[in-house]
Amino acid sequence: QSVLTQPPSVSEAPRQRVTISCSGSSSNIGKNGVHWYQQLPGKAPKLLIYYDDLLTSGVSDRFTGSKSGSSASLVISGLQSEDEADYYCSAWDDSLNGWVFGGGTKLTVL
Amino acid sequence: EVQLVESGGGLVQPGGSLRLSCAASGFTFRDYAMNWVRQAPGKGLEWVSTISGSATVTYYADSVKGPFTTSRDNSKNTLYLQMNSLRAEDTALYYCARAYSTTSEFDAWGQGTLVTVSS
């Protein structure tokens, strides 16, 4: 059971938009920045979005992050087949004194 | 170019020990915190440990606190993870990852080294 809650999977057609949610608590997302990672099949994770809504250099602006209270969202617009991957949210947890991750969301582009 | 290369993984019996290494290049190693993150086969990411650039601060996940020790040698640009009393549940791909500070995002990752705990 992960501290941050994400849907196990989402799917959408090419060129459409999809939202991946990440729910936490006041000790993690509610107090600290949320970071999003993309893990392509068989590859190491890669930082996409940091501190809620900042886009990593070189990452497509089709990726957008946001946060409200103790929840965060990653929106991917103009879906492409190459976006098929696992997506993870993460935040520092002040109560645990450590990092917490969501369980990951598998994106399928239909 | 930032590079992180893990090594030291392998097959070990339950109760055994292993030391992982992460060789860093392409940046000033001592200026960055470093992290270990693991991923069990077919599972999600699990944070393991964080160490500050000066090695004065370390944090551990409860699941590894005690048996695992993170250290670094800034003169060799290398991060270590000493793993003792290994259990089957420790079987995973272990990644090292760089961060600007102990509480900032992981902006560079290695390719991982596989640890298998089995008799």
Q: What is the pLDDT along chain A (110 residues), one digit of tens a residue?
A: 889 999 999 999 999 999 999 999 999 999 999 999 999 999 999 999 999 999 999 999 999 999 999 999 999 999 999 999 999 999 999 999 999 999 999 999 99
Contact A45 B106 (CB under 8 A): yes
Which of A40, A39, A59 is CA-nearest to residue A48? Answer: A59
Compute the count of residue pairs across chains A and B with CB atoms less than 8 Å apart.
56
Q: Note whether B107 and B27 are within 8 A (CB).
A: no
Confidence grade of residue B56 (pLDDT, cut at 50, 70, 90): very high
Which of A93, A55, A98, A97 is CA-nearest to residue A74? Answer: A55
- Amino acid A1: pLDDT: 83
Contact B37 A96 (CB under 8 A): no
- Amino acid A72: pLDDT: 98
Which of A39, A91, A30, A38 is CA-nearest to residue A63? Answer: A38
Nearest to A88 among B44, B62, B103 (CB): B44
- Amino acid B107: pLDDT: 97
Q: Does A59 touch chain B (CB under 8 A)?
A: no
| Residues near A8 by beta carbon (within 8 Å), at least 6 away in sequence | A103, A104, A105, A106
Which of B48, B46, B50, B69 is CA-nearest to residue B58? Answer: B50
- Amino acid B62: pLDDT: 95
pLDDT per position as a tens digit, B73-112: 999 999 999 999 999 999 999 999 999 999 999 999 999 9
For residue B84, give Cα distances in angstroms to A8, A28, B30, B65, B67: 32, 30, 26, 11, 5
The residue whose two tokens read 């069990």 is B40
Nearest to A92 among B37, B95, B103 (CB): B103
Rounded to an integer, what is the distance from CA A14 to the centroid of its chain? Answer: 19
pLDDT per position as a tens digit, B4-35: 999 999 999 999 999 999 999 999 999 999 99
- Amino acid B109: pLDDT: 98
Contact B35 A98 (CB under 8 A): no
Contact A44 B107 (CB under 8 A): no
Give the type of residue at B97: A
Sign of the C-alpha dihedral computed for residues B20, B60, B102 and A72 taken in this order: positive
Contact B105 A50 (CB under 8 A): yes
Q: Does A97 touch chain B (CB under 8 A)?
A: yes
- Amino acid A51: pLDDT: 98
